[in-house]
Chains A and B, each alone.
Chain A
């Protein structure tokens, strides 16, 4: 049911002189509206507008800050050979903001005849590997298609750099098309 102000029917026309009682009624209406729509200084208070009050047309892609909401994406093509040595080699990176993220990456690589396995490619959060799985398939002339994803939603408590890495000891890789995507899910 629609809310109603305490005195909805105050009628006046030009040159009317309002009585003290009517001024009190107007004040009561003002106080009611102030309580109904809590204002902080000149702006609407945090949380005052609920999603049911927003029309679908009010939410447009142009109004969304996609750097903090939605997706982080990085891609590259035809990378040079990656000589895997004693340290991991970062192939792509994105930075995610605080929140919950689903992260996955993929691409194609040429292992140049070296043995590769599930541990050859990984996602890292700084110095920690993110639990997940790596899958290689469609081996054609030493060209592998691969994908890697986290096994659980990654929760970032601060701005966090996520790396798509070739792990140390994997030999010499030549990465071609590759991409890293983080989708915000909460």
Chain B
């Protein structure tokens, strides 16, 4: 699966309940949302990820949201990831938890929105 810039993905828990940030070096291949054109970055961009939990007690399920973006702004990104996480259903979280592997994840129809910055 390709890197789709600014599109949020859901995966199994990555082990970080706090916002985790990593610089993605220039020269990384990626696509933009809705495009099949594969391009290479000329500037570094950022990968953010954060773990969330849904449900209570024994039905509690963890998942991770992550995104690679050219928006380097921790508070704004975290705010948007938190908002997306609150819209994830328990069923979706269960499905992701059951199906995820080291390589398998799902892109959500959710984008990091530039206009909110």
Contact = CB atoms under 8 A, between A and B. Distances in A.
B16 A14 contact: no
B117 interface: no
Contacts of B9: 13-14
B11 A11 contact: no
A15 B3 contact: yes
B11 A13 contact: yes
A16 B22 contact: yes
B34 to A, nearest CB: 19
A17 B27 CA distance: 12
Given A9-B15, A11-B14, A11-B20, A16 B47 contact: yes
Interface string B45-88: 00101000000000000001010100000000000000000000
Give the dominant DSSP class at A's interface. Answer: loop
A11 B16 CA distance: 7
B103 interface: yes
B102 interface: yes
Interface in A10-25: 11-17
Interface residues of B, number: 21
Q: Which of A11, A13, A16, A17 has the most chain B CB atoms inside 10 A of its CB?
A: A13
Interface in B1-28: 1, 3, 9, 11, 14-16, 20, 22, 24-25, 28
A11 B9 CA distance: 16
Contact of A9 (B16, B49, B104): B16
A15 B102 CA distance: 9
B22 A15 contact: no
Nearest to B51: A11
A21 to B, nearest CB: 12
A55 B103 CA distance: 36
Contacts of A9: 15-16
Contacts of B16: 9, 11
Closest 5 CB pairs of A and B: A13-B66, A11-B16, A11-B20, A13-B49, A14-B105
